[in-house]
Structure 1
Amino acid sequence: MTKISIKKNTIDFPFVDDKGEELFCLQFDKTDEGIKNFYKAKDKLEQMKVEVTTEESIDEVIPYIRSVYESILGEGSFDKVYKVNPSITIATHYLSVICDAILDDILTDLKANLENKYVQGYLKKNAKDSIQDK
């Protein structure tokens, strides 16, 4: 009998202090819904064109970045980060690092699945079948 180990479907992002002690941990949910939310939030972040140069622009950016954090990492995630480091530029940097890590993880999983010999055989068979159907 082949046993199948259940894969973890979250990515942990521990935030540690200068002594290496964990202050809190944010998690990304790798379910299909979580991945869809990630891509929507990532697009929203990339479309942001506000420059943080004045007090007013900081006030404009905070709710925007909060919504992206919460779309990706859940409710309250931005507040945890901002409480430890109350700087929107640093919070945005952390978000960028987190997005890069999530994207890398998703692409690594996708590549591993595409390289699987059974998946490749299935894709080749379906490609042949669809060509023959035309």
Structure 2
Amino acid sequence: MVKIQVKKTQLPIEIGEHTFYIDTSEKGAEAFWKLVSNYATKSAKITEKLEKEMIKPETADRKAHEELEKVMDQLLGDGAFNKLFKLSPDYTLISEYYMEICSAVGEELGGRKKQFFDKMQRYLEG
């Protein structure tokens, strides 16, 4: 009998006493990259408006904070931002968490594809 281990598509992310899960299935990966791209676009627009003095620094900070809250809740689940803010009540630190999460998920997704292609290559070579 051949026993094949079931592979999980949930990547656990532990921050303090909280564990969050990110879907790394093909559909989850697509949603992740779209979320990251949208957040980067919104952040860039806020920065651009600030640089062109179209908005005040306080407004830029408020909008950036709102976008960070949204992206963290979308990424880790509703209420995630508030849990993290209780641990680290500083938007800069939560931004750092976001960057670390993105890096970890990117490595996981890239590593999984590489492993698949390496296995496939060995299989095809016999």
Same fold (TM over 0.5): yes
Of the three residues 29, 34, 37, the one matched with 1:35 is 29
CA displacement at 1:105 relative to structure 2 = 0.3
Aligned-partner residue type, residue 2 of structure 1: V
Match in the other structure for 1:68: 71
Select which of 114, 117, 124 maps to 2:117. 114
Tell me whether 91-100 or 39-48 shows the greater mean CA deviation: 39-48
One-letter amino acid matched to 1:79: N
State which of 85, 92, 95 in structure 2 corresponds to 1:92.
95
Q: TM-score, normalised on structure 1?
A: 0.74
1:58 counterpart residue number: 61
Q: Which has the higher helix share?
A: 2
Alignment match, 1:5: 5
Equivalent pairs, count: 116
Distance 1:12 1:59, change over 3 A: same
With over 3 angstroms needed to count, the CA separation of the structure-2 counterparts of 1:55 and 1:83, relative to structure 1, is farther
Larger Rg: 1
**Counterpart amino acid of residue 30 in structure 2:** K
Of 20, 25, 28, the match for 1:26: 20
For the Cα contact (< 8 Å) 1:13–1:26, is it kept in 2?
A: yes
1:120, 1:45 → 2: CA distance?
40
The equivalent residue for 1:127 is none
User: Among 73, 84, 106, which residue is 1:103 paired with?
Assistant: 106
Gaps of 5+ in 2: 51-55
Higher RCO (C-alpha 8 Å, min separation 6) = 2
Gaps of 5+ in 1: 17-22, 122-134
